[in-house]
Structure 1
Amino acid sequence: MAIIEHVREAISKLDLVSVAVLIPTLVVLAHVIPYWVDPHGLRQYPGPWLAKYSDLWLARVTAQGNRSEVVHELHKQYGPYARIAPNHLSVSDPAALQEIYAHGSGTMKSNFYDAFVSIQRGLFNVRDRVAHARKRKIVSHIFSQKSVLDFEPHVREYVKMLIRQWDGLFDSAVKGGSGPEGEGWEGRDGKLWLDCLPWYNYLAFDIIGDLAFGSPFGMLTACKDYAPVAKFSEKDTTVHGEIVGLPAVQILNDRGEYSASMGVLPPWVRPWVKRYIPWFSRGSDAVKNLSGIAVAAVSTRLKAQVDRVDLLSKLKEGKDDEGKPMSIGELTAEALTQLIAGSDTTSNTSCAITYYLAANPSVQTKLQKELDEVLGSNDDPVSTFNEVKRLTYLDAVINETLRIYSTSGIGLPRMAPAGGVMIRGKAYPEGTVLSTPTYTIHRDIAAWGEDSDDFRPERWFERDQDTMQKAFNPFSFGPRACVGRNLASMELQIIISSILRHFEFVLEEPEKPLTIREGFLRKPSGCRVGIRRRNL
């Protein structure tokens, strides 16, 4: 305390000119000294010069929305090791997945995840290993294969609704019709032309709304991005005041970009940028509004006291090792986690699959042939999971999209525990942040072949399965892997098989690549396709 007082006294005696010189000098020293002291032994690794001294390089790249691609280019330039922040090493060796993320690694989630906390910590952003184990015990059984089958009728109901909507639009389109301004659909060349991404958003939100909260958001019916948002007290998640309708998809997009950018900044900087930089201030509002969606939905569901099987009812029934259930705040935080994880990932991936099938007509034809052979006698427009769960080419198409598109493409940061960690034969001391970038290992030539940048489902039948699986990371890996993997897989199999059996797709601009904006997840900016109903 005496030293601090002496420093304060010394600063108080300085004139403005001296202060103007001193502050920048201290800022520079605060970045240069750690580089030369090198407490984590990372100075030997290559990377952008600014990244060696400051987190600003990674923050800027993240805010620009193309982090995975930029880090991938670094690895192409530098090899398997790239320093992307003063205390963050990206390791693009697929073998590092096991060592960084596996159960026995001992690594922990870094403070990156603190930027994703709202209401209270949920399964995704809790960092304490004991707290995480407790939450996972309660939540994981909900997503077992057996439990997930309870949700299948709800998934099929909304897929049928989407097909019905597109059927209606197609009938209008072939008669020369077009949608009102803002809906963006039209009839041309015997096809219905529209941007499929909003529709996949409506589908995914209505499915997860029904599964998590007992009722859909009504987006498919209204053909509109909308959800009730509550103002609430974070202490007890009590609804305060009027519930208003806001665009949920846009809120989710804004929140993902905000939290991903905030998470790469040092914790002491975050309150300042949130207060003084307008873009971060708007992102902070998105975090509150997204929480407000969960609060409104949980409040409505609990008041209704509906007796039905859904995620919320299963969460309410769950108990930890001491027999204690989740509190309302914890329940709401977990419901929010499922809302985020179950909407954005499904819609983004469904859109990407549609794009790649439209861009590769031979693949689309081959998939439809498999579907026709298995489902040809079925009059129901929506497949059952039992009918499609073993279709090999359908699996190959989905897996190839998960690989090449990489919905979650960034390297999820893990921190070396006390005593350090060994990764690929190299020692890293406690506190070092390490990650393996999914986007990059999904393009590893040794695992995927010389054409690893190409969309080609046939590789899943041609190459060594063990080698590919060790470099395949769509749902993360180890104790912090996505608990909803079974549900996500079932949804994608039902959605894609049903829609591709009913419709065929072409791209409006075949030479134009899929434009993607990355927050925490990689999201298409849109995908305009021509849709024609198939004659079954």
Structure 2
Amino acid sequence: MLSTDIYIEPLTAAVVGLAMHHFVFIRGEWHVRAPVVFRFYLASTLLWCIAYYRACDRSIQTCSIHYFFSLSTHYITLLASIVIYRCFFHPLRHFPGPYLAKATKFWHVWKCRNSNNHLLLEKLRHEYGNFVRTGPNEITIFHPAGLNLINKPDLVERSDWYDLVHPSFSLNTVRNQYFHDRRRKVWEFAFTNDAMKGYEERIRSYATKVDDSIRGSNRSIIDTNAIIYRFAYDVMRDLAFAKTSNDTDQEWQTSVNTIHTGLSILGPLSPAPWIALLFFSFTNLQLVSDWNNMMAYCREKMAERLALVTPKGRDISSWLIQDAKSRGQIDSPEEMQWLNGDAFSMILAGSDTTASTLIFTFWHLAKTPRYQKLIHDEILKFGVLSPLISEMSFKDFERLPFLNAFINETLRLHHPLPTAGSRIVRQKGLIIDNEHIPPGTKVVAPRWNFGRHEAHYKRAWEFLPERWLNDSDLISDRRAFTPWAGGKWACLGKQIALFELRYLISLLVHHYSISLPPGDDGSSVERDYKDQVTAFPGKLNLVFTARGSE
């Protein structure tokens, strides 16, 4: 018999629950071990049940009542201790925010179950102000200084959000700053000026294929999502893995579908990494299967690149592989985790982010034809006639102020990573606008919402490229605009992405007048928009009319 005193067992269970909270779970990070903790509790519950019934000399009914009473007492005490601490004793208790968000991230997951985290955070900003407690240990910052500060490694470090691809890691996801800086030095070789010159010609060839596909289409209405995603994927596959495509190659469709279905699980779960990592352990779930298929696809692309003996041109992976070989680590499991993680980063950051930005760019061009004329006239003004547009370099495009203003405005309103990424405050803490954010706090600064903040921009919800021209007074605080991050975490692929954007926009605007189809207002682009780490715009159909044939 375990005990003749019916109060001893539940009391012991309650004490264990309190101890688990105050001496175990409250200390350190547990998100990566969430599946292990879940299995531990499940196994412990079953073993306790078996041991209890074997030791109990009372009736089955009495034993069952006592067992479930003790078990429920443990869980209720554990959860009550967690909730009471988070709501009344946590260092963030004075920050405003939804009451349930103070207690659990399950609230956040439920609220953005439709992949609309950007809209949820916008609602919270209007309701609670520039500092909102969006989780038990999380502050979402909307103050303009926030974006600048979360890009300073001496003040913050990458959070548990970057472990979503665990056990793989890459330049974009590794949390240890030393390993990040060491890896970045290898990546930098792939983004020198000489490397860029080689990339430019390959990007031009894929942009020309887009032009040819539009010109040769027998359809008056063009599925713009399809041609843009194909362009972005073809460029990525060539520059990242030295693999070219032809007109009959349909691998881009497999890639896009695999990535988009794989990322769908992160629409609701991205704000709570521990829940996502727990979900990933249930491999029979369809959403988890989609995620695993996506990660397997990334590993497959890197395996294909490793097997490629003589690539036609230098690609980004070649520098990573060369570094691994120079250290004699190309076959080590750890190095493969790096390479597989980098493959994920190159596929996601090298195609999806560019594609979503281009879709929004052409959407705005179609809605406001005068912007097409301004860009077209600007190209002519700089003497770039049709036969010479293919010779424009990255530096040449920097001389087109309105084109660059148009791209900046697109990135302001439609950042390709709407709410992704978070940081952990280091020991110094953060002070923003007299608000002290204590060490160990997770901080989020969502770019989608920063771009629409009335304190940062006048007429913030309007698409006005002219705000980025020299004589504009439409920007109230330039700290709110950091589309490429900054410092040691700045986007290395910025020049490639900008060249893709500038070249394809210039090429198509120079050759076509772009419009929405009759009866289509294009509202589906925003209506069906999904925030799933990267931005997924809705469907965009456009009519491309060759200039001179209107």
TM-score range, shorter chain: 0.7 to 0.9
Kindly provide the amino acid, as one letter, of the partner of residue 313 in structure 1. Answer: S
> What SS is found at the alignment partner of 1:531?
strand
Q: 1:527 aligns with which of 532, 535, 540?
A: 540
Q: Where in structure 2 are the equivalents of 1:70-149 lying within 5 Å?
A: 70-105=120-155, 107-117=156-166, 120-149=168-197
Q: Does 1:159 align with 2:207?
A: yes
Q: 1:351 aligns with which of 336, 359, 362?
A: 359
The 8 Å contact of residues 32 and 53 in structure 1, kept in 2 or not, is answered as yes
Q: Where in structure 2 are the equivalents of 1:235-254 lying within 5 Å?
A: 247-254=254-261
Q: Where in structure 2 are the equivalents of 1:230-269 lying within 5 Å?
A: 247-259=254-266, 261-265=268-272, 267=274
Q: Where in structure 2 are the equivalents of 1:396-475 lying within 5 Å?
A: 396-410=405-419, 412-449=421-458, 451-461=459-469, 462-463=471-472, 468-475=477-484
The 8 Å contact of residues 88 and 433 in structure 1, kept in 2 or not, is answered as yes
Q: Where in structure 2 are the equivalents of 1:267-286 lying within 5 Å?
A: 267=274, 270-272=277-279, 274-275=281-282, 278-286=285-293
Q: Distance in 1 between matches of 2:462 and 2:340?
A: 41
- Specify the alignment match of 2:86 in structure 1: 35
Q: Distance in 2 between matches of 1:423 and 1:216?
A: 48
For residue 167 of structure 1, report the CA deviation from its aligned partner. Answer: 0.6
Q: Which moved more, 1:53-62 or 1:132-141?
A: 53-62
Q: Does 1:502 align with 2:550?
A: no
* Residues 205-225 of structure 1: CA deviation (Å, up to 9, x unaligned): 11111111111254xx1374x
- Specify the alignment match of 1:175 in structure 2: none
- Specify the alignment match of 2:523 in structure 1: 512
- Specify the alignment match of 2:248 in structure 1: 222
- Specify the alignment match of 2:306 in structure 1: 299
Count of aligned positions: 486
- Specify the alignment match of 2:226 in structure 1: 198
Q: 1:332 to 1:131 in 2, by over 3 A?
A: same
The 8 Å contact of residues 165 and 341 in structure 2, kept in 1 or not, is answered as no
For residue 384 of structure 1, report the CA deviation from its aligned partner. Answer: 2.0
The 8 Å contact of residues 317 and 325 in structure 1, kept in 2 or not, is answered as no
Q: Where in structure 2 are the equivalents of 1:20-31 lying within 5 Å?
A: 21-22=72-73, 25-26=76-77, 28-31=79-82
Q: 1:421 to 1:87 in 2, by over 3 A?
A: same
Q: 1:137 to 1:261 in 2, by over 3 A?
A: farther
The 8 Å contact of residues 115 and 267 in structure 2, kept in 1 or not, is answered as no
Q: 1:144 to 1:446 in 2, by over 3 A?
A: farther
For residue 149 of structure 1, report the CA deviation from its aligned partner. Answer: 2.4
> What SS is found at the alignment partner of 1:341?
helix
For residue 442 of structure 1, report the CA deviation from its aligned partner. Answer: 1.1
Q: 1:429 to 1:468 in 2, by over 3 A?
A: closer
The 8 Å contact of residues 55 and 266 in structure 1, kept in 2 or not, is answered as no
Q: 1:375 to 1:255 in 2, by over 3 A?
A: farther
* Residues 383-440 of structure 1: CA deviation (Å, up to 9, x unaligned): 6224423100110111110111121111521012245443443333332101211112
Q: Distance in 1 between matches of 2:397 and 2:176?
A: 39
- Specify the alignment match of 1:330 in structure 2: 338
* Residues 285-311 of structure 1: CA deviation (Å, up to 9, x unaligned): 23333324423432342xx32363221
> What SS is found at the alignment partner of 1:264?
coil
* Residues 146-204 of structure 1: CA deviation (Å, up to 9, x unaligned): 432221010001111111111100xx3xxxxxxxxxxxxx3xxxxx2022011111111
Q: Distance in 2 between matches of 1:103 and 1:52?
A: 27
> What SS is found at the alignment partner of 1:532?
strand
> What SS is found at the alignment partner of 1:130?
helix
For residue 90 of structure 1, report the CA deviation from its aligned partner. Answer: 0.4
TM value normalised by structure 1: 0.82
Kindly provide the amino acid, as one letter, of the partner of residue 89 in structure 1. Answer: I
For residue 258 of structure 1, report the CA deviation from its aligned partner. Answer: 2.5
Q: 1:6 to 1:405 in 2, by over 3 A?
A: closer
Q: Distance in 1 between matches of 2:525 and 2:134?
A: 26
Q: Which moved more, 1:329-338 or 1:340-349?
A: 329-338
Q: 1:383 to 1:345 in 2, by over 3 A?
A: farther
% identity of equivalent residues: 22
Q: Distance in 2 between matches of 1:26 and 1:253?
A: 41
> What SS is found at the alignment partner of 1:151?
helix
- Specify the alignment match of 2:118 in structure 1: 68
The 8 Å contact of residues 139 and 444 in structure 2, kept in 1 or not, is answered as yes
Q: Distance in 2 between matches of 1:211 and 1:94?
A: 35
Q: Distance in 1 between matches of 2:342 and 2:183?
A: 9
Q: 1:309 aligns with which of 311, 314, 330?
A: 314
Kindly provide the amino acid, as one letter, of the partner of residue 214 in structure 1. Answer: A
The 8 Å contact of residues 169 and 337 in structure 2, kept in 1 or not, is answered as no
> What SS is found at the alignment partner of 1:84?
strand
* Residues 73-120 of structure 1: CA deviation (Å, up to 9, x unaligned): 211121101111111100101112222222432x111111111236x2
> What SS is found at the alignment partner of 2:421?
coil
TM value normalised by structure 2: 0.80
> What SS is found at the alignment partner of 1:275?
coil
> What SS is found at the alignment partner of 2:464?
coil
The 8 Å contact of residues 232 and 354 in structure 2, kept in 1 or not, is answered as yes
The 8 Å contact of residues 205 and 216 in structure 1, kept in 2 or not, is answered as no
Q: Distance in 2 between matches of 1:426 and 1:79?
A: 12
Kindly provide the amino acid, as one letter, of the partner of residue 483 in structure 2. Answer: P
> What SS is found at the alignment partner of 1:32?
helix
Gaps of 5+ in 1: 173-185, 187-191, 228-245
Kindly provide the amino acid, as one letter, of the partner of residue 512 in structure 1. Answer: S
Q: 1:437 to 1:264 in 2, by over 3 A?
A: closer
Q: Distance in 2 between matches of 1:531 and 1:145?
A: 34
The 8 Å contact of residues 140 and 483 in structure 1, kept in 2 or not, is answered as yes
Q: Which moved more, 1:284-293 or 1:207-216?
A: 284-293
The 8 Å contact of residues 417 and 447 in structure 2, kept in 1 or not, is answered as yes
> What SS is found at the alignment partner of 2:378?
helix
Kindly provide the amino acid, as one letter, of the partner of residue 155 in structure 1. Answer: I
Kindly provide the amino acid, as one letter, of the partner of residue 222 in structure 1. Answer: T
